Amino acid sequence: MPLQAAEFFAELCLPFPDHAVVGNTYFATPAPGAPLRLRIDFTRTIHADTYGGLRIAVVHPDRGEIDAVALGFVEHGTFHRRDEAIDIRPNTKQYGTFDTYHRPGRPPWDGAVTTGLRDAIKQYAAVWFPGTWTESAPSRAPGRTATPTPAPPAPHNGSRAR
């Protein structure tokens, strides 16, 4: 199954009009006419097709990568609600991650709350591209996945309620 990176980056509602998603990578020119570019990739885990966060880098066309930072999904609470709702425990493969496999009609990152990631990207962009972050993002609900995480099933205790 594909990662659907373009849809994930669209949910982040990043405000850079000059951008493109190529494969699984987001590229932007936050300051028009400036040589520096912003690149955002998914960070992989030790498990195949499983992602644990984002890696943001500032890239110069001649000098290459100038700076980079990793933003873990766990540290930014991206899957906290989902993991708690369906009882995914820390130190397991699924905790704070997503993989390319998913239910039909749902994105692989179903249940993600991207507000923490978006805030961290905003902070990072403010250092390297001051004044370029505008709040005129697309009209989606900022920082939230469009489909809510379903409630976990009620525990079965063997007795029937009357």
Q: Say whether pTM exceeds 0.85.
A: no
pLDDT of residue 141: 40
Domain encompassing residue 54: 5-128
Asked if residue 148 lies in contact with residue 112, where contact means CB atoms within 8 angstroms, the answer is no
Domain total of the chain: 1
What pLDDT digit, counting tens, does each position of 98-136 carry?
888 777 888 888 888 999 999 999 999 999 999 999 875
Q: Which two tokens stand for residue 19?
A: 């951008």
141 lies in some domain: no
58 lies in some domain: yes
Integer Rg of the chain from CA:
18
How many alpha carbons lie under 13 Å from residue 116 in its C-beta half-sphere?
Answer: 15
Q: Estimate the share of the chain in helix, then strand, then coil, as percent rounded to the nearest 5.
A: 15, 25, 60
145 lies in some domain: no
Q: Which two tokens stand for residue 122?
A: 């905003």
